[in-house]
Structure 1
Amino acid sequence: MTTLQEVEKSQVKKLASAAKLPEFRPGDTVRVNVKVIEGQRERIQAFEGVCIARRNAGLNSSFTVRKISYGEGVERVFPLFSPRVDSVELVRRGDVRRAKLYYLRGRRGKAARITERSGAGEETGAAESTEA
Structure 2
Amino acid sequence: MNLLQQFEHEQMTRLSGARATPEFAAGDTVRVMVKVQEGERIRTQAYEGVCIARSNRGLNSNFTVRKLSYGEGVERVFPLYSPNVAEIQVVRRGKVRRAKLYYLRGRTGKSARIQEATSPRVKAAAGAAAAPAAEAPAAAGDQQA
The 10-residue stretch of structure 1 (9-18 or 73-82) with the greater mean CA deviation from structure 2: 9-18
Cα gap change, 1:67 to 1:42, in 2 (>3 Å): same
TM-score (norm 1): 0.89
Unmatched runs of 5 consecutive residues or more in structure 1: 124-132
Cα gap change, 1:84 to 1:122, in 2 (>3 Å): farther
Looking at structure 2, the residues matched to 21 and 56 of structure 1 have their Cα atoms a distance apart, in angstroms, of 13
CA shift digits 1:26-60 (9 cap, x unpaired): 00000000000011111110000000000101111
- 1:78-117 matches, within 5 Å, as 78-117=78-117
Larger radius of gyration: 2
Q: What letter corresponds to residue 88 of structure 1 in structure 2?
A: I
Unmatched runs of 5 consecutive residues or more in structure 2: 124-145
SS in 2 for 1:26: coil
Tell me which residue corresponds to 1:71.
71
Tell me which residue corresponds to 1:33.
33
CA shift digits 1:54-95 (9 cap, x unpaired): 010111100000000000000000000000001001100000
Number of equivalent positions: 124
Q: Cα offset for 1:10?
A: 1.6
Q: What letter corresponds to residue 118 of structure 2 in structure 1?
A: S
Do structure 1's residue 60 and structure 2's residue 60 form an aligned pair? yes
Looking at structure 1, the residues matched to 13 and 4 of structure 2 have their Cα atoms a distance apart, in angstroms, of 14
Q: Matched residues, percent identical?
A: 64
CA shift digits 1:99-132 (9 cap, x unpaired): 0000000000000010000115858xxxxxxxxx
Looking at structure 2, the residues matched to 64 and 120 of structure 1 have their Cα atoms a distance apart, in angstroms, of 28
The 10-residue stretch of structure 1 (112-121 or 2-11) with the greater mean CA deviation from structure 2: 112-121
Looking at structure 2, the residues matched to 63 and 120 of structure 1 have their Cα atoms a distance apart, in angstroms, of 27
Tell me which residue corresponds to 2:51.
51
Q: What letter corresponds to residue 100 of structure 1 in structure 2?
A: K
Q: Cα offset for 1:12?
A: 1.1
Looking at structure 2, the residues matched to 2 and 121 of structure 1 have their Cα atoms a distance apart, in angstroms, of 42
The 10-residue stretch of structure 1 (30-39 or 111-120) with the greater mean CA deviation from structure 2: 111-120
Q: What letter corresponds to residue 112 of structure 1 in structure 2?
A: A
Tell me which residue corresponds to 2:18.
18
